[in-house]
């Protein structure tokens, strides 16, 4: 058995012997509130033996606890992790003196792109926002750059990306139909209710859909009137 502060841990009832065994115990501890403090003890043993997932999880733990000087070397080792790349990007975007990182939007974008390439929608959103704020070099309009990344995140099912893309279509392109599709996707997305801005997104999306429906109804009514009286509205009759 493996001991930690008076508690015994096993892997399927046997003594942990391999890096994978210690990783499994560390992962279990991290996901179990009563034993969470024990997680680094077992993960460090696994990481010391070269277990990549243990290194990545240690980086996540250090980052989530605000121990950035500890987190950064671990995150750098986790080259295939979208989460690690995203964390590094956020630290570069804000600057992190504790970890020796000066603020750099170019470095932030580099790591956001790495995370986005590994399928992390939060990184896609972050890139879109950096372009909208003109913090990265532009080859097109800021909205075109941003929309590319917002739509990519929306395709991953991210509710805020669906909402942000809809807002760009509605406000910058006046493309009500495309905006409506994305507003509807945001409303129907089961993740919307769990998002920090979920209530706001749902209410605003519903309001814009009602507005779009009213616009369609008014347009249809006008077309019917013009079909009955083609001269109406021309201003060239008495």
Report the pLDDT value the prediction gives residue 95, as an integer from 0 to 100: 98
Nearest residue to 125 (alpha-carbon basis) of 154, 142, 150: 150
Question: 3 in helix, strand or coil?
Answer: strand
Summarised one tens digit per residue, pLDDT across range 81-130 is 999 999 999 999 999 999 999 999 999 999 999 999 999 999 999 999 99
Helix (H, G, I), strand (E, B) or coil at 134: coil
Query: Which portions of the chain are predicted below pLDDT 50?
Result: 237-238
φ, ψ of residue 11 in degrees (nearest 5) = -115, 105
Q: Is 17 exposed, middle or buried (0-12, 13-18, 19+ CB in 10 A)?
A: exposed
pLDDT at site 231: 60
Q: Tell me: the pLDDT tens digits for 142-151?
A: 999 999 999 9
């Amino acid at each position: 058995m493996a001991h930690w502060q008076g508690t015994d841990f096993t892997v399927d009832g046997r003594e942990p012997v391999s890096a994978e065994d210690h990783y499994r115990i560390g992962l279990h501890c991290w996901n179990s509130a009563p034993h969470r403090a024990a997680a680094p003890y077992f993960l460090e043993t696994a990481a010391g033996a070269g277990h990549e997932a243990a290194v990545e999880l240690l980086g996540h733990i250090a980052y989530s606890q605000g121990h950035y000087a500890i987190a950064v070397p671990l995150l750098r080792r986790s080259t295939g992790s979208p989460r690690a790349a995203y964390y590094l990007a956020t630290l570069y975007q804000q600057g992190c003196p504790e970890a020796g990182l000066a603020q750099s939007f170019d470095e932030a974008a580099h790591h956001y792109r790495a995370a986005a390439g590994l399928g992390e929608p939060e990184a896609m959103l972050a890139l879109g926002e950096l372009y909208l704020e003109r913090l990265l070099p532009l080859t097109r309009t800021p909205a075109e750059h941003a929309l590319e990344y917002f739509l990519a995140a929306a395709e991953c099912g991210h509710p805020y990306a669906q909402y942000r893309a809809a807002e760009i279509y509605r406000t910058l392109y006046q493309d009500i139909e495309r905006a409506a599709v994305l507003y509807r996707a945001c409303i129907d997305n089961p993740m919307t209710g769990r998002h920090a801005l979920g209530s706001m997104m749902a209410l605003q999306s519903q309001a814009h859909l009602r507005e779009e429906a009213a616009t369609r109804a008014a347009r249809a009514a006008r077309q019917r009137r013009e079909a009955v009286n083609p001269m109406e509205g021309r201003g060239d009759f008495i």
